């Protein structure tokens, strides 16, 4: 079975009623029974049901459920001789670290499992700012997502309901709706998902820097024209304070610009 076709099916729109986590558990459990029997034909049928249920999931998926879905897909691909099977099995380890498969694995299946468990877990690379709620990757809050492994993306609306669920294959096309949620277009001059604090920090930095510069220039001028020894030290202190404000404002401004521009 093609990974691309499977990912496209899992990423399709919901075609039925909403499904809760218990319903997803039942579907995963039935597929796991087929896998335990090494009944590959039955496993394909169970995965077809999973493909229809996952987009309809009305609750945040649990990490263990995401991991089980990855493993079941991985073994299905393994049965078809698809080399991408190891990568999907590895995605299961990422979603649920430390999972121990049945010791009954023998031969090529044991080798594939060992290969998957030994793969390095790829660090997250891509920002997901989010729109109108939280984003979950493999059931966990995420500001970043993996690039080299499959992953399940959920958009959780502000009221806590799951608006959409996608299974993403990094080698395949990302559904347009998922891409819009993951990478929103900036609105009203403020990039969506960026904390307002960094915009406030930018304004504060501008104020500090401007005030510090003006104070430094004024006190330097007073110091240069001062004829009284009693005024030299106070003017010098005021000048140093002004330049310090300028430095603090510049540093804060640089950090704020970097954070906002990411």
Residue 144 above 90 pLDDT? no
For residue 158, the number of C-alpha atoms closer than 13 Å in the C-beta half-sphere is 3
Which token pair is 90?
Answer: 């590895």
Q: Are 248 and 187 in contact (CB under 8 A)?
A: no
4 falls in which pLDDT band (50, 70, 90)? very low
* Residue (of 60, 194, 212, 40) closest to 138 by Cα position: 60
pLDDT computed for residue 147 by the predictor: 62
Q: Are 195 and 262 in contact (CB under 8 A)?
A: no
CB within 8 Å of 162: residues ≥ 6 apart:
57, 58, 59, 60, 154, 155, 156
pTM of this prediction?
0.59
In whole angstroms, give the CA distance from residue 188 to residue 58. Answer: 31
Coil, strand or helix at 169: coil
Q: Supply angle C-alpha 260, 146, 36, rounded to 5.
A: 155
pLDDT computed for residue 249 by the predictor: 58
* 203-262 pLDDT, tens digit each: 655 565 565 556 656 665 655 555 555 555 555 565 556 556 556 556 655 555 555 444
137 falls in which pLDDT band (50, 70, 90)? confident
Residue 27 above 90 pLDDT? yes
CB within 8 Å of 53: residues ≥ 6 apart:
16, 19, 23, 24, 27
CB within 8 Å of 222: residues ≥ 6 apart:
231, 235, 238
- Is 189 exposed, middle or buried (CB count within 10 Å of its CB: 0-12, 13-18, 19+)? exposed
The rounded mean pLDDT for the chain is 69
For every residue of 121-147, DSSP letters joined together read PPPP-EE---SSEEEEETTEE-SEE-S
* Residue (of 237, 250, 258) closest to 211 by Cα position: 250
pLDDT computed for residue 136 by the predictor: 79
* 177-189 pLDDT, tens digit each: 555 455 443 333 3
Name the least confident of 84-88, 170-174, 194-198, 246-250: 194-198
* 62-106 pLDDT, tens digit each: 888 998 999 899 888 888 888 888 888 888 888 877 776 665 666
Beta strands in the chain (DSSP E): 126-127, 133-137, 140-141, 144-145, 151-157, 162-168
């Amino acid at each position: 079975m093609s990974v691309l076709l499977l990912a496209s099916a899992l990423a399709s729109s919901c075609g039925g009623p909403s499904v809760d986590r218990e319903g997803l558990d039942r579907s995963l459990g039935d597929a796991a029974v087929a896998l335990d029997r090494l009944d590959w034909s039955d496993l394909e049928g169970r995965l077809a049901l999973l493909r229809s249920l996952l987009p309809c999931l009305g609750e945040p998926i649990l990490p263990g459920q995401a991991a089980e879905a990855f493993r079941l897909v991985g073994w299905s691909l393994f049965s078809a001789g698809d080399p991408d099977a190891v990568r999907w099995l590895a995605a299961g380890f990422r979603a649920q670290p430390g999972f121990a498969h049945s010791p009954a694995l023998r031969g090529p299946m044991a080798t594939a499992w060992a290969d998957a468990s030994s793969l390095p877990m790829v660090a997250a690379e891509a920002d997901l700012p989010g729109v109108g709620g939280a984003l979950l990757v493999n059931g966990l809050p995420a500001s970043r997502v993996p690039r080299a492994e499959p992953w399940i993306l959920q958009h959780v609306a502000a009221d806590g309901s799951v608006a959409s669920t996608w299974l993403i294959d990094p080698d395949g096309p990302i559904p347009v709706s998922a891409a819009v949620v993951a990478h929103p277009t900036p609105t009203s001059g403020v990039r969506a998902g960026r904390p307002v604090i960094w915009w406030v920090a930018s304004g504060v930095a501008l104020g500090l820097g401007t005030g510090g510069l003006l104070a430094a220039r004024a006190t330097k001028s007073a110091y240069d024209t001062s004829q009284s020894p009693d005024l030299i030290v106070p003017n010098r202190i005021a000048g140093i304070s002004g330049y310090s404000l300028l430095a603090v404002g510049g540093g804060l401004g640089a950090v704020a610009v970097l954070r906002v521009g990411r």
